[in-house]
Copies of this chain bind each other. A is one copy, B any other.
């Protein structure tokens, strides 16, 4: 069961560099793309950015609809993650192919969230920058939820049991290692 996480703390869901699934929408079509190039970029105001290749359908959708959802998968979704990262939404209805379930967003009007994900951040686009062969999409987190048992609501960090995915490159992935509290 997911619980609301203050939107200004939402960056803690992605700050460790874990890979995410970005959902976007345009007219009657929804799309999912795997993204590991995402970071928070500001504390006050709170900001999150993602880099998506210009050629991607998701880039077109985000530019048009000005919103997207960052969905955080765990390792149980690795096959869906790879499918969404290697196939194009121009060729496939990725929700249909992966059997991932659309969930109505709380704040966003058009873009669905992914029910099977352990965390979600609904994002409103604030700026776009062209950079090389990618667009950088700057956004404001508007609403966020995280799986209650997998997140430490006292320290605002993932627990070790959250089986986050990290992409090392190509076909190589890693899970979250041992979590340690380190004080000097």
Residues of A near any B CB (own CB < 8 A): 12, 15-18, 36-47, 49, 51, 53, 78-79, 82-83, 86, 127, 129, 131-134, 136, 138, 155-158, 160, 166-184
Listed A/B pairs (23) with beta-carbon separation below 8 Å = A12-B168, A12-B169, A17-B18, A17-B166, A37-B40, A37-B41, A41-B131, A42-B134, A43-B132, A45-B133, A78-B182, A86-B184, A131-B138, A155-B170, A155-B172, A166-B166, A168-B179, A172-B179, A172-B181, A173-B180, A174-B178, A175-B178, A175-B180
Distance in angstroms between the alpha carbons of A133 and B12 in the assembled complex: 17
Looking at the complex, which one of B46, B129, B171, B176 makes contact with A182 (CB distance below 8 Å)? B171
B134/A41 in contact, CB under 8 A? yes
A16/B47 in contact, CB under 8 A? no
B41/A167 in contact, CB under 8 A? no
Residues A168 and B177 in contact in the complex (CB < 8 Å), given A16-B17, A41-B134, A182-B82: no
Residue numbers in B under 8 Å from A179 (CB-CB): 168, 172-174
Kindly provide the distance from the CB of A82 to the nearest chain B CB, expressed in whole angstroms: 5
